Structure 1
Amino acid sequence: MSTNLTRPTVTVLGLGPMGRALAGAFLDAGVHATVWNRTPGRDAALVARGAVSAATPEEAVAASELTVICVVNYDASDAVLHREEVEAALKGRTLVNLTADSPDRARATAAWAVQHGIGYLDGAIMTPAPSIGTPEAVLIHSGPADLYERYAPVLAALGGAHTHLGEEIGRAAGFDIALLDIFWTAMAGFVHALALAKAEGIAGRELAPFAQGIGAILPPLFAEFAEDFDSGSYSGAINPLTSAVSTMAHVVHTAESHGIESGLMRAAEGLVRRTIALGHGTDGVSRLAEILSRR
């Protein structure tokens, strides 16, 4: 890659929907992209747009100073990277891993990179593939600050907002896992609500506008509960747990009266009842996080 970044080069390993979006965004930004995918044929449209197709991953990484990998998980990325030929080709170069997995796996990969003389940044993509290359994209990164600053101008081609979360390599994955926890718990709650609403003769399209209203009240509550948790105040001024558990019980009763499985809400209700039994009934929902963290 040229040091003045007038014609940067990058290699993209993995051409699933997200990998293709990453490579396409680099091409759109005038970055010379070399691409490789384990399954042949997925690079045809990218090659037609100017990408160079590599026959092997070692050939791909040798073509660029910077390699970006984005595959399904770290088992898949390890299968690509932990090969003698690839390790040799990556030595002295930089790898940005945008594969989603756990913080421990990110730390293990960073240790492997140090062992093989590879510069390493970990990261996560917080928005869907169609957002890549647009202002809506959100990417988070962790690892050596000087390495991030060096390649930030190239990574900017992916669009949107990029945040360096610190040098501890597991921080990006830690943020990603915590945010995915919010997303999938919310999605589980929504599909449960759809089933419950249908049982009560309410169509999903009827419920959706009101569900969006519920979603809209959450951002300020997130900020308030986070402050309560960090400060240890666990305020129940808005909605004490003794009140919250009553509404949870109503959901469980109504759903199960229709034969709808309600394990997720029962688990939440059980946690609240346990917290109340420990003497925290007047506290707010942020107290639950403290209880979950107890050993």
Structure 2
Amino acid sequence: MNNTTDTPINVIGLGRMGQALAGAFLKAGHPTTVWNRTASKADQLVAAGAQLAPTVGDALTAGSLTIICVTDYPAMYELLGAGDVALDGTTLVNLTSGDSAQARDAARWAEERGARYLDGAIMAIPQVIGTDQAVILHSGPQQDFEAHRSTLDALGTVTHLGADHGLASLYDVAGLAMMWSVLNAWLQGTALLRTAGVDAATYAPFAQQIAAGVAEWLPGYAEQIDSGSFPAEVSALETDAAAMAHLIEESEAAGVNTELPKLIKAMADRSIAAGHGGEQYPVLIEEFGRSRES
């Protein structure tokens, strides 16, 4: 990672993640000021060279780049909205978990108070912060991101997604959807194979191979979605639906839960009923793109 070390950093919020963020800046050589409601959480950081600010307002005056990572957005407003806290002139990078609407509202709130605002999402555990394994997503004005990119590089692999402040939160939950979907599919298969005495460790390498193979399809499938055309180059949805029925039947016969495959089969059936049975699997984007009530 290539980053300058003369930029003073303020880190507000010293939970496990906040401590890791401040520690990464310190390790990279940045003068780092920290604040936390429970001051003792800063002890190790102070021992490593951080300065402990007595108040949030004092922390903000220590440098022009402020990282905040607290419990939620209301906690951020409580801390930064106090009368003695001046945001004017700072760039605020909010790495607090929340949703896209909260991110956009926070951007307006911060900008009304004279701050430049970037919203972010941390796709990593505290232990890997400061390494390339830590993926940190940012959204907001690109010029504000680029102005501090070399500093933010100390945290890991940083990415700017676009000017819309809500994009980092949306990518965050989209990534979680991928994670849970892959894990749930693996658990479904593991439950099936366990009925035949195959343990999870034996099945896992095969599952990895399948997951990696399916991942290779995504760019081509994305082209179909973006173009709105779904020719059955691999297989038709009605063929996939027949395989789904087989999975459900096999699961029922083995005494394995069928809620997940039945859910996906129901979506495929609706798409087929709407006349898309001869198209390829990505045509299901129409089902995923609407609420069930509609």
Change (3 A) 1:245 1:83: farther
Instruction: Answer whether contact 1:229 1:290 (CA < 8 A) is retained.
Output: no
Change (3 A) 1:72 1:285: farther
2:87 equivalent among 81, 85, 90: 90
Whole-Å separation in 2 of the counterparts to 1:48 and 1:182: 40
Aligned to 2:222: 226
What fraction of aligned residue pairs are identical, expressed as a percent?
A: 41
Aligned to 1:80: 79
Aligned to 1:47: 46
How far does residue 93 in structure 1 lie from its aligned partner after superposition? Answer: 1.1
How far does residue 272 in structure 1 lie from its aligned partner after superposition? Answer: 0.6
Whole-Å separation in 2 of the counterparts to 1:13 and 1:218: 41
How far does residue 259 in structure 1 lie from its aligned partner after superposition? Answer: 4.0
SS in structure 2 of the partner of residue 106 of structure 1: helix
Whole-Å separation in 1 of the counterparts to 2:75 and 2:236: 45
Aligned to 2:125: 128
Aligned to 2:155: 158
Look up the equivalent residue of 1:282 and give its one-letter code: G
Q: Could you list the runs of 5+ residues in structure 1 that have no partner in the other structure?
A: none
- Bigger CA drift: 217-226 or 51-60? 51-60
Instruction: Answer whether contact 2:5 2:151 (CA < 8 A) is retained.
Output: no
Whole-Å separation in 1 of the counterparts to 2:79 and 2:214: 40
Q: Could you list the runs of 5+ residues in structure 2 that have no partner in the other structure?
A: none
Change (3 A) 1:51 1:193: farther
How far does residue 30 in structure 1 lie from its aligned partner after superposition? Answer: 0.2
SS in structure 2 of the partner of residue 47 of structure 1: helix
SS in structure 2 of the partner of residue 201 of structure 1: coil
Q: Does 1:270 align with 2:266?
A: yes
SS in structure 1 of the partner of residue 287 of structure 2: helix
How far does residue 40 in structure 1 lie from its aligned partner after superposition? Answer: 4.4
Change (3 A) 1:218 1:38: farther
Aligned to 1:119: 116
Q: Does 1:206 align with 2:195?
A: no
How far does residue 6 in structure 1 lie from its aligned partner after superposition? Answer: 5.0
Aligned to 1:13: 12
Give the structure-1-normalised TM-score.
0.89
How far does residue 212 in structure 1 lie from its aligned partner after superposition? Answer: 0.9
Q: How does 1:18-29 map to 2 (within 5 A)?
A: 18-29=17-28
Change (3 A) 1:72 1:249: farther
Whole-Å separation in 2 of the counterparts to 1:119 and 1:151: 12
Aligned to 2:276: 280
Which segments of structure 1 move beyond 4 Å, counting only runs of 4 or more? none
Deviations 1:127-168 (A, max 9, x none): 3333321223322212122211211121111133x2222222
Instruction: Answer whether contact 2:123 2:136 (CA < 8 A) is retained.
Output: yes
CA-based RMSD of the aligned residues comes to 2.2
Give the structure-2-normalised TM-score.
0.89
